[in-house]
Amino acid sequence: KNQVEQSPQSLIILEGKNCTLQCNYTVSPFSNLRWYKQDTGRGPVSLTIMTFSENTKSNGRYTATLDADTKQSSLHITASQLSDSASYICVVSARTGGFKTIFGAGTRLFVKA
């Protein structure tokens, strides 16, 4: 069964600290993995997209890693800011003739001053 599981469900950190969010997936055959940021009451916004051959990709203070062998990805946030408070969603797509894109339930991050 195609699944995307994210951990933790929620996380509280102090401003300025780093954190790492996890994503495990069973979607196959793998095509790409994306991370989205969703502010409360807003639509998701793309952070990174990685294909099978990419191990890491950065977008400012956000760095995503991918291990296609273990089917795991992580999103590392450096020097967190209050504006990083949001849900972070891992999305995995399969390489098929039709569509097969599975969204994780997200990790809710709270950054406190």
Partner 1 sequence: NAGVTQTPKFRVLKTGQSMTLLCAQDMNHEYMYWYRQDPGMGLRLIHYSVGEGTTAKGEVPDGYNVSRLKKQNFLLGLESAAPSQTSVYFCASILGDLNTGELFFGEGSRLTVL
Please, which residues bridge with residue 37 across strands? 45, 88
Closest C-alpha to 75, from 13, 12, 15, 24? 24
The reply on whether position 44 binds partner 1 by CB under 8 A is: yes
Half-sphere exposure of 29 (CA within 13 A, CB side): 5
Which residue, 15 or 72, is less far from partner 1 as judged by CB?
Answer: 72
Nearer to partner 1, 34 or 62 (CB): 34
68-94 core/surface letters (b: 16 or more CB in 10 A; e: else): beebebbbebeebeeebbbbbbbbbbb
Binding flag, residue 95, partner 1 (CB under 8 A): yes
Q: How far is the CB of 68 from partner 1 (least distance, A)?
A: 15
Q: Kindly indicate which of the ranges 10-18, 53-61, 75-83, 102-110 contains the residues binding partner 1, using the contact rule CB under 8 A.
A: 102-110
Query: Which of 22, 24, 32, 74: binder of partner 1 (CB under 8 A)?
Result: 32
Q: Is the CB of residue 45 less than 8 Å from the CB of residue 91?
A: no
- Minimum distance between the CB of residue 85 and partner 1, rounded to whole angstroms? 18
Instruction: Kindly list the residues in this chain that would bind partner 1 in the complex (CB under 8 A).
Output: 4, 31-32, 34, 36, 41-46, 49, 89, 93-96, 99-106
